[in-house]
Amino acid sequence: MTLDEIRSWLQENDPQKLETLWKQADTLRRKNVGNVVFLRGLVEISNICRRNCLYCGIRAANSKPDRYRMSTSEILDTAKLAKNLGYGTLVIQSGEDLTCQADEMADAIVQIKRETGLAVTLSLGERSEADYKAWFEAGANRYLLRFETSNEKLFHAIHPPAPGEQARNRVEILKSLRKIGYEIGSGVMAGIPGQTWEDLARDVAMFAELDLDMIGCGPFLPHPDTPLGGVGSQESGVGMADQVILDEHLPFKVIALARLVCPKANIPTTTAIATFDPKHGRLLGLSRGANVVMPNLTPTKYRKMYEIYPNKAAGSELPEETHERAVRQIEELGRTLGKGPGTSPRFLQKAVY
Ligand code: 5AD
């Protein structure tokens, strides 16, 4: 697909034409990754963050959330819960928390692998190459690092480096993660202030260029305790005529286009989408290209503290309730639950060569 084609899909408003986009994405999903939906158990192990991303509720400068970091034994308990609920993968996510030390994390990964055999996906932000290698050697299989926007100027404007640190290029980090041996995942937010239609089209083209194994995208959801949290922050697209406007279709257009450019990728219908459209978001995502759901298994007492955006879906549920709802929704759609690790067919095929 050319950049112009991607852009015109992003800006398409004709409901009949959009139906053809949803259909194409759904067909490609079925052909490439089948009717199986994989569940990934998500555990948010720390909301401590050294960064000050302008949109994120757990940014260092936000003094409102109490900060927590789960112990290795709490993480292991969550892994065992995921295993008992039938999951094949644990996704370990956190703020950019350097108090989460590399060797401690490596030790947790070793224990999770030994005691549960789950596939381990890490989403711990920008770390040193040595840390990434140590975690891979400890047994981690996948790494998620959203590049957030392919517009470098916009990226740097809303992701200032931590004090005393150099800005890094996430696309380069993703390439080095792949070299280490990880399955790599990335993604963007749709509708961030300052993002043009051209930028978002380039984001989708970047998914293809990186040939991602996993693609996670969601709408930008303003958090009131952040610099981009003001009412109408859409308009703070500095008066740009070309500012992306977030409407009810946009998050699904991004999912559908991701499926079109990376047919074999694992694509979740994200929590941000479920928060944006609590009634239908998750199901619409699964009907328009997605094949993965990531139920939040974080212990209930920590959930409220991991508020990257407001009213996050499943905010105060028990992990078991979150799980059961996901299973019901998948069954309602007539899709089957995945078993095992659910490695991306893209990764498996590449591994054959
Ligand atoms: N709205 C939507 N998505 C957000 N994220 C962080 N803050 C917000 C927000 N306010 C996304 C980022 C990050 C992922 C974990 O959550 O894309 O990579």
Query: Model confidence over 283-315: pLDDT tens digits?
Result: 999 999 999 999 999 999 999 999 999 988 777
Position 59 confidence tier, pLDDT thresholds 50, 70, 90: very high
User: Residue 231's pLDDT is what?
Assistant: 56
- Testing ligand 1's pocket by substitution, the residue of 43, 46, 47, 55 carrying the most ligand atoms inside 8 A of its CB is 55
Does position 103 have pLDDT exceeding 70, yes or no? yes
Say yes or no: CB of residue 9 within 6 Å of ligand 1: no
Q: For residues 96-118, b (16+ Cβ closer than 10 Å) or e, as one string?
A: bbeebebeebbebbebbbeebeb
Q: Is the CB of 159 inside a 6 Å radius of any atom of ligand 1?
A: no
CB contact at 8 A, 263 and 277: no
Q: What is the whole-number distance in angstroms between the Cα of residue 40 and the centre of ligand 1?
A: 18
Q: Which helix (H) or strand (E) holds 185?
A: strand 183-186
284 in ligand 1 pocket by Cβ < 6 Å?
Answer: no
Cβ atoms of 216 and 21 closer than 8 Å: no
User: Residue 342: which pLDDT band, with cuts at 50, 70 and 90?
Assistant: very high
* Nearest protein CA to atom 7 of ligand 1, as residue: 56
Instruction: Decide if pLDDT at 55 tops 60.
Output: yes
pLDDT at residue number 353: 34
- Is the confidence at residue 248, as pLDDT, over 60? yes
Percent of the chain with pLDDT over 90: 92
> How far away, in angstroms, is 231 Cα from ligand 1 center?
17
Q: Report whether pLDDT(220) > 60.
A: yes
Ligand 1 centre from 220 Cα, in Å?
7
Q: For position 235, what pLDDT does the model report?
A: 52
CA of 353 to the centre of ligand 1 (A): 35
Output the pLDDT for position 351: 42
Residue 54 Cα to ligand 1 midpoint, Å, equals 10
Q: What is the mean pLDDT of residues 186-207?
A: 97
Q: How far is the CA of 347 from the centre of ligand 1 (A)?
A: 26
What pLDDT band is residue 232 in, cutting at 50, 70 and 90? low
Average pLDDT of span 35-56: 98
Taking all residues of the chain, what is their mean pLDDT, rounded to a whole number?
95
H helices of 234-318, where?
250-261, 271-276, 281-287, 300-303
CA of 94 to the centre of ligand 1 (A): 12
Ligand 1 nearest-atom number relative to CA 229: 10
Provide the pLDDT for residue 312: 87
Residue 199 has pLDDT above 90, yes or no: yes
* Confidence grade of residue 223 (pLDDT, cut at 50, 70, 90): very high
158 lines ligand 1 (CB under 6 A): no
Asked if residue 222 lies in contact with residue 272, where contact means CB atoms within 8 angstroms, the answer is no
- The continuous run of DSSP H or E covering 120 comes out as strand 119-123
The number of the ligand 1 atom at minimal distance from the alpha carbon of 221 is 1
Rounded percentage of the chain residues whose pLDDT exceeds 70: 96
pLDDT of residue 3: 97
Distance 17 CA to ligand 1 centre (A): 29
Q: Which atom of ligand 1 is nearest to the CA of 228?
A: 10
307 lines ligand 1 (CB under 6 A): no
**pLDDT per position as a tens digit, 137-188:** 999 999 999 999 999 999 999 999 999 999 999 999 999 999 999 999 999 9
Ligand 1 contacts CB of residue 347 (under 6 A):
no
Reply yes or no on whether the pLDDT at 352 is more than 50. no
Q: What ligand 1 atom has the least distance to the C-alpha of 145?
A: 18
Q: Which residues of 233-255 are buried (b: 16+ CB within 10 A; e: fewer)?
A: bbeebeeeeebbebeebbbbbbb
* Whether the model pTM is above 0.85: yes
49 lines ligand 1 (CB under 6 A): no
